A and B are shown apart, each in its own frame.
Chain A
């Protein structure tokens, strides 16, 4: 300690200051690099994101200038712009999801891009790495950078990190007059029709259906009798709770299916692997089936079973990640479900676009169109090829068809 104090007072002090400056610079660089990495779009990596943000800022600047110079001519139309019209006609879409590492979210971003391209809009991708405060900050920054003239040109497709994150997002978007569509997470008692004029809709997926359908598929494949293991995700997540509820419903219908064990692997592959290894030690060949709350853990379980040479155990997951589809094709995994994230990416934007262009009128949309469960698909060996080959049809986003995938929840 003494030694250090001596050092600071010594002649090398000036060099110290130099180091300090350098360290600040390096730190800033490191942070910038990491920030770029987390906001980059999936395929085109960091550089695109940086470019996007720049061009966005430049656009906003030039639009303001244009608005100022042609003040008199614009005056008439600005009053109309408050309700819908985007004066410039250049729509800007923003898709915000958890990360760009999980294939589920990369598909989501790609679907959004496909729609944006189809209507000539420029898309910005945002990712918040499961961090609620980061998500809120991104939204705040984005909305602050939008001038009131530009507000009607923006369409947001947002995946709230948690249920509670939906409220501030839709509140701020409404205050800024920017159209927003949320998906999956929102508090049960928060509804788009409760005074949120620009919150077009919340698109959700029935987790109970997933848990129930996968369980039934699994039990039927086991001949209605045998022992299963439950692999759960984060136990406090609504995704896992809903899927588990569906599983319970199916279990009550199949009295000869016995649950050997129920463990949580936090939705992570490595966890699914190590837990399954341990459970194999515990139950050995008594295991006939594994019901997993997502594909990543199911793939981890598959790895463990293969290492143990247990090739007859049936496994189901959900999410339809590409590796799971490959495993189903190869007959190693039994089934998965898909919410079709590619479709989701475009759907969130399409709903907003239809409102922005006047094809839909928020005020007259029934509640069933502003909050709905979208169709999901069960994928087994029979239809996996068909599913893998299916391409996103932008025609589905025609304003007359945007609600074609709305379904009723299962009881």
Chain B
């Protein structure tokens, strides 16, 4: 029996079917595993360099430190899916932390709303997130500017609520989140784990998650097929806001007091974490789980550098170099496809 080779024509896909065909047959490549490989290499490296690094206590510690960043990064990831950017987390967290601190049992007033107060933090997050989305889609301000403005608004409101006096929270449930441990892991860690799983489920099984992905990949196609785009963009920003709100709740638990700048620096680290994990700034690629690996890479680096005894003078520089190298490694094989970089 002779095998008749298929004619060449069949192998060459029709031009119109090109992109779709490509995405369907996309195989797992090095790019997808680079962040995980980096995490493994770093972990092994630090474990060899310092015996303290490989203790169970340190694992508890790393995950506890990474928790807030993980939750915030899940939110950021959905926005990055769309090819948009979100820099509003500092402001949203600023207001969220202050609202929470004022509503639960605290040292300033007699409020004691408990869980309702904590829920209010999430509501603040969703409200600000929705505002982001509305400004982007209805007033058509680019997400970079819109979210920066919202961040400033959030910090402003937080500052007014702060009114010159810090507030310590005394609510046992809230404070307990950071102190209670099961199997050595803090409750905060479990909440963050739950948030990551929820984020992954939303990404995979809900319309909002899938559309966010599709908007970043091929917005035009989606619009032509009659999808109400702006509605879904608002949903995505609101969803991101929800995660920022949850981040604010966990931060409040960890710090034990209302500090307006609690979220300071999270905009850089969450976007860096998402990108290190393989979520592209140009949208349409990556995922909640990838971003979470990015969070772990940053957390392991931060922890390991201190344990190994790298001078604090060079720690920041090392962290910055690591981020740039990781991003370069992740995007190297597809750099031609990225088109214009600006």
Contacts and interface: CB of A to CB of B under 8 A. Distances in A.
A317 B174 CA distance: 26
A262 interface: yes
Given A23-B141, A268-B264, 9 more contacts: A19-B139, A31-B152, A33-B152, A40-B159, A42-B164, A277-B65, A281-B52, A281-B57, A323-B168
Contacts of A31: 149, 152
A322 interface: yes
Tell me if B's interface is mostly helix, strand, loop or mixed: helix
Interface stretch (A77-85, A100-108, A154-162, A199-207): A100-108
Given A282-B306, A303-B256, A101 B162 contact: yes
Contacts of B163: 42-43, 45
A37 B156 contact: yes
Given A23-B139, A27-B149, A307 B165 contact: no
B160 interface: yes
B156 A232 contact: no
Contact of B153 (A19, A34, A279): A34
B141 A264 contact: no
Interface of A: 3, 19-20, 22-23, 26-27, 30-31, 33-34, 36-38, 40, 42-43, 45-46, 100-101, 103, 106, 110, 232, 235, 261-264, 268-270, 273-275, 277-282, 299-300, 303, 306-307, 321-323, 326
Contacts of A281: 52, 55, 57-58, 61, 303, 307
A100 B260 CA distance: 11
28 contacts: A23-B139, A26-B141, A30-B149, A34-B156, A37-B153, A37-B160, A43-B164, A106-B164, A106-B165, A235-B313, A261-B309, A264-B313, A269-B259, A277-B64, A277-B65, A278-B306, A279-B306, A281-B58, A282-B50, A300-B255, A303-B255, A307-B178, A307-B179, A321-B166, A322-B166, A323-B168, A326-B107, A326-B168
B19 to A, nearest CB: 15
A274 B67 CA distance: 12
Contacts of B255: 269-270, 273, 300, 303
**Among B64, B107, B160, B261: residue with most chain A CB under 10 A:** B160
B307 A282 contact: yes
B164 A103 contact: yes
Given A26-B139, A30-B149, A282-B306, A273 B160 contact: no
B307 A37 contact: no
Given A19-B140, A281-B55, A26 B135 contact: yes
B135 A264 contact: no
Given A19-B140, A31-B149, A263-B306, A270 B262 contact: yes
B292 interface: no
Interface in B244-299: 251, 254-257, 259-262, 264
Contacts of A26: 135, 139, 141, 149
Interface string B208-226: 0000000000001001000
Contacts of A42: 163-164
Contact of A36 (B156, B166, B179, B220): B156
A97 B255 CA distance: 25
Contacts of A19: 139-140
B142 to A, nearest CB: 9
Contacts of B259: 269
A110 B168 CA distance: 22
A26 B145 CA distance: 11
A282 B52 contact: yes
Contacts of B261: 101, 268
B249 to A, nearest CB: 15
The 4 closest A-B pairs by CB, nearest first: A37-B156, A34-B152, A106-B164, A30-B149
Contact of A3 (B162, B220, B251, B309): B220
B162 to A, nearest CB: 6
Nearest to A274: B65
A51 B166 CA distance: 26
Nearest to B160: A45
A286 to B, nearest CB: 11
A103 B223 CA distance: 51
Contacts of B153: 30, 33-34, 37
Nearest to A1: B220
Contacts of B162: 101
Contact of B141 (A27, A33, A100, A278): A27
A277 B168 CA distance: 20
A300 B264 CA distance: 15
Contacts of A3: 220, 223
A404 to B, nearest CB: 27
Contacts of A268: 261, 264
Interface string B157-201: 101101111101000000000110000001000000000000000
B173 to A, nearest CB: 16
A303 B188 CA distance: 15
B137 to A, nearest CB: 10
A72 B315 CA distance: 68
A262 B156 contact: no
B312 interface: yes
A323 B257 contact: yes
A106 B260 CA distance: 14
B114 interface: no
Contacts of B39: none
A309 to B, nearest CB: 9
A321 B167 CA distance: 12
A205 B309 CA distance: 33
B57 to A, nearest CB: 6
B121 interface: no
Contacts of A264: 312-313, 315
A303 B141 CA distance: 41
A40 B150 CA distance: 18
**Among A34, A100, A273: residue with most chain B CB under 10 A:** A34
A268 B261 CA distance: 9
A307 B159 CA distance: 28
**Among A38, A42, A281, A307: residue with most chain B CB under 10 A:** A281
B326 interface: no
B312 to A, nearest CB: 4
B74 interface: no
Contacts of A307: 178-179, 186
Contact of B312 (A40, A100, A263, A282): A263
A278 B303 contact: yes
A278 B149 contact: no
Contacts of B315: 264
A278 B312 contact: no
Nearest to A262: B312
A173 to B, nearest CB: 27
A46 B155 CA distance: 12
Contacts of B152: 30-31, 33-34, 37
